[in-house]
Amino acid sequence: MVINCQSICIKCGKQRVVVKTKKERLNSSWVYTTITACPDSECQKLVDAMLNKEKAVRSKIIENQEREKVLRDKRRRRSHRRKVVAVQTKK
């Protein structure tokens, strides 16, 4: 099932051009990927730079979340050990 839809450039508003279409099998489904670009090459460079910047910000956020999870787990283990030691000293 191929759905034809128009894609508009987020920067200049021109209709984007299909650069590449890819069909791949994922589990029991076919996935169609269409890569589009702005017909204005300078505009496309600006859009690519903007998207790369957003991607870097997202990856930094994910990295920070993973670091926070590790620190949170360490704190939990440390507080659990303190509770165990406190209970053992009371006996």
* DSSP of 39-68: SSHHHHHHHHHHHHHHHHHHHHHHHHHHHH
Is there a domain that residue 10 lies in?
Answer: no
| 38, two tokens | 């702005």
pLDDT of 65 above 80: yes
Tokens for 35? 């890569």
Q: Name the token pair of 24.
A: 């791949």
Does position 91 have pLDDT exceeding 60, yes or no?
no
pLDDT level of residue 87 (50, 70, 90 thresholds) = low
| Residue 15's pLDDT band (cuts 50, 70, 90) | very high
Is residue 36 situated within a structural domain? yes
- Residue 71, domain member (yes or no): yes
Indicate the DSSP class of residue 22: E
Q: What is the pTM of this model?
A: 0.62
Q: 76 lies in a domain? A: yes
β-partners of residue 22 are 33
- Structural domain boundaries, residue 39: 17-90
Has residue 82 got a pLDDT over 70?
A: no
Question: What's the length of the chain?
Answer: 91
pLDDT of residue 76: 87
The answer, yes or no, to whether residue 3 has pLDDT greater than 60, is no
Q: Please, are residues 64 and 56 in contact by the beta-carbon 8 Å criterion?
A: no
Mean pLDDT calculated for residue range 67-79 = 90
pLDDT at 88 > cutoff 70? no
**Is 7 inside any structural domain?**
no
